[in-house]
Structure 1
Amino acid sequence: MAHTVTVGDRRVECAPDQSLLDAFLRAGVWMPNSCNQGTCGTCKLRVLDGEVDHRGSPADTLPDEERQAGMALACQASPRCDTVVSSPTASGAVRGTHALRDLVATVLDVEDVARDTRRLLLGLDEPLAFSAGQYVELVVPGSGVRRQYSLANTPEEDKVLELHVRRVPGGVASDAWLFGSVAVGDRVELTGPLGDFHLPDAADDEGEPMACIAGGTGLAPFLGIVRTALQRRPDREIVLYHGVRGAEDLYDVDRLTELAAASPGFRFVPVLSDQPAPSCRAGFPTDAFVEDVPSARGWSGWLCGPPAMVEAGVKAFKRRRMAPRQVHREKFTPADALDTGAAGA
């Protein structure tokens, strides 16, 4: 029997085995969310009335003292009765979001684009509404295992989804499936959209300069974010750093170079950490940003990639006086190591 869960002035029905986050997102009610596995704590909220089952909530993310104080992880907890939870915003306002949906897609193309990196195109039977930068979860056929991959699309590209996948040796999704048995014409189950790493709605977009730093396939969401930002304001100042080990790991260079040629305020900077090459910066993308930008006051910062790179990026943005509220981040590690963002193994 479903229970009613209330946040602000919104009430949704939530099954006993359904997470609070899943119920709210499917009803089009926004809740902060990132990893959706209980490891990042982004969706933590307070239970004001009623009772929840914390299920698989990790003690590292939700220690006993927080549970006793009424805190819960929305992506893990399910209601035991009618429940009231706190609003995730300081103002108490509850806003809408793109409704979470279960869909089926057809594999249209699988292309090797760089060393151990593939582009996957999935054709949907019906459009998916999302914000640039969000991600979807794929169900690995025959296993029930779910893996998360960022969308490289703009919101207008809503019927053919583009995902970037890096091979992880032994990975259930990448190695065995997406670099193994997957074939054009296969049917794939997916859920989306998910994640808070995305541009604000057009009405709330202030058009400030943007510094974007990607590591590896962390480039994927920026293809949607940057193109959407430039569609809104073609002269917007944006710099995108793509950090990889060597030239063999770079991809979509021509695509981004063409975008830069057509957009006076956009710069694309590939950065190689291990194997220097002509026309590429050497070192780390976070250091390149510090070298290039003397002050980031009034800028927004965007980071997507491995945790170490993201943390280095936060420090780099701080050094250049960027406001903390303007820093957006998406960490990821292989899922088998308890990932904390939109990537999968």
Structure 2
Amino acid sequence: MATIQIENGPAFSCGPHDTIMRAAVRAGHGFPYECNAGSCGNCRFELLEGAVHHHRADSPAYGERDQRRNRWLGCQALPESDCRIKVRLDAHYESTYPPRKLAAELVDIAPITHDISEFTFRVVEAQQALPGQYALVKLPGMDAPRAYSMCEVSDDGLTWAFQIKSVPNGKASAVLARLHPGALVDIDGPYGMAYLREDADRDILCVAGGSGLSPMISVARAAARSSALAGRAIHFLYGGRMMRDLCGEPMLQALPGYGERIHYHPVLSAQPLDGAETWTGRQGFVHEAAAELFGERLKDMEVYFAGPPPMAEAIKRMLHDNAVPQGQVHFDEFY
């Protein structure tokens, strides 16, 4: 167990095999982070005393300039001794439910589309999360955990469900394809800043593509059930290439207010290949659909989005172009 002292700040303990950033968030401190995978660089800190090494030696966000300045990535840095570090804490990153490492058992797998399935796990101890957050799941035989967003956490905190997309030739996807109920995994969470803001008295826009379905369904479900948001409309845009990619509507139809305050907007980016399929709905990309559907109204909405990086970048540009205040935009950086 190493002691990490933040210069002009608090000290906290970092357990074996834990990273400095995750240990700080577990201790209730606002250590900045985003992707939790060594790709964004938001968790950089300066090492003043002590020794660390990176769990992921090839972290994309870590370069020669960082090495020269003795800077490290908090989400990858494993302490080899007690350390003194320099980092600017931010209350924005303090977790309502500090993340914990929990053993979990797979209890169900349910297909959603041809390449998305819902995996439901039962954890050994109750742990809550905010709608829209994610967890790090350590799969059998994998060296590092993968970040997956929850679509739902049960009221008692014992059941965690994830909607996960199968990636061709993906290592984690290959492991998931071999799992059966009864399989054991380790879950570390919750993490993430793209959670539902119940104190925001604005209509809600959720934009999703691929397995971005999972956190957006979580946000929509919680918003539909929130008394604080009872008068607010919920718009859900889902983008896919083909008709077989579209999903989410049956989950929304199960919520109170569907068709009245809850609205589903599917978007296809490609023409159907099968001549038997006909599509009369909206075509294009989800960021284009959002701009066309809401235009000036976007500035008055609370916007949540999740999906592939190119989609996320396009949505960010579109929201900036439409002058949506940054404080009303919520997403987690995944790479």
Structure 1-normalised TM-score?
A: 0.83
Contact 1:149 1:163 (8 Å CA) reproduced: yes
Partner of 1:321: 323
Question: Any idea what the Cα deviations from partners look like across 1:108-127, whole Å, max 9, x if unmatched?
Answer: 11112111221111122222
Over 3 Å counting, the alpha-carbon distance change for 1:260 and 1:71 in structure 2 is farther
Cα distance in 2 for residues equivalent to 1:222 and 1:7: 38
Contact 2:106 2:120 (8 Å CA) reproduced: yes
Q: Secondary structure at the match of 1:199?
A: coil
Alignment of 1:90-109 (within 5 A): 95-109=94-108
Alignment of 1:240-255 (within 5 A): 240-255=236-251
Question: Any idea what the Cα deviations from partners look like across 1:180-216, whole Å, max 9, x if unmatched?
Answer: x21122222222112222234x4xx222233221111
Contact 1:154 1:225 (8 Å CA) reproduced: no
Structure 2: tracts of 5 or more residues without a match: 273-277
Cα distance in 2 for residues equivalent to 1:318 and 1:128: 36
Question: Residue 227 of structure 1 aligns to which amino acid in structure 2?
Answer: R
Cα distance in 2 for residues equivalent to 1:258 and 1:17: 42
Partner of 1:76: 76
Question: Residue 303 of structure 2 aligns to which amino acid in structure 1?
Answer: G
Question: Residue 42 of structure 2 aligns to which amino acid in structure 1?
Answer: T
Question: Residue 164 of structure 1 aligns to which amino acid in structure 2?
Answer: Q
Q: Secondary structure at the match of 2:171?
A: coil
Counterpart of 1:216 (choices 180, 204, 210) is 210
**1:177 aligns to 2:175 (yes or no):** yes
How many residues are paired up? 325
Counterpart of 2:229 (choices 228, 233, 243) is 233
Question: Any idea what the Cα deviations from partners look like across 1:213-235, whole Å, max 9, x if unmatched?
Answer: 11111110011112222313122
Over 3 Å counting, the alpha-carbon distance change for 1:141 and 1:88 in structure 2 is same
Contact 1:235 1:263 (8 Å CA) reproduced: no
Partner of 2:36: 36
Mean Cα deviation higher: 160-169 or 76-85:
76-85
**Percent identity over the alignment?**
27
How far the C-alpha of 1:143 sits from its partner, in A, is: 3.7
Contact 1:257 1:268 (8 Å CA) reproduced: no
**1:207 aligns to 2:201 (yes or no):** yes
Counterpart of 2:184 (choices 179, 184, 187) is 187
Contact 1:4 1:82 (8 Å CA) reproduced: yes
Over 3 Å counting, the alpha-carbon distance change for 1:250 and 1:63 in structure 2 is same
Structure 2-normalised TM-score?
A: 0.85
Over 3 Å counting, the alpha-carbon distance change for 1:68 and 1:17 in structure 2 is farther
Q: Secondary structure at the match of 2:76?
A: coil
Cα distance in 1 for residues equivalent to 2:284 and 2:25: 40
Contact 1:54 1:77 (8 Å CA) reproduced: yes
Cα distance in 2 for residues equivalent to 1:13 and 1:264: 50
Structure 1: tracts of 5 or more residues without a match: 333-339, 341-345
Question: Any idea what the Cα deviations from partners look like across 1:143-188, whole Å, max 9, x if unmatched?
Answer: 44422211001573622211112222222221x2222x21122222
How far the C-alpha of 1:96 sits from its partner, in A, is: 4.7
Partner of 2:275: none
Cα distance in 1 for residues equivalent to 2:324 and 2:256: 24
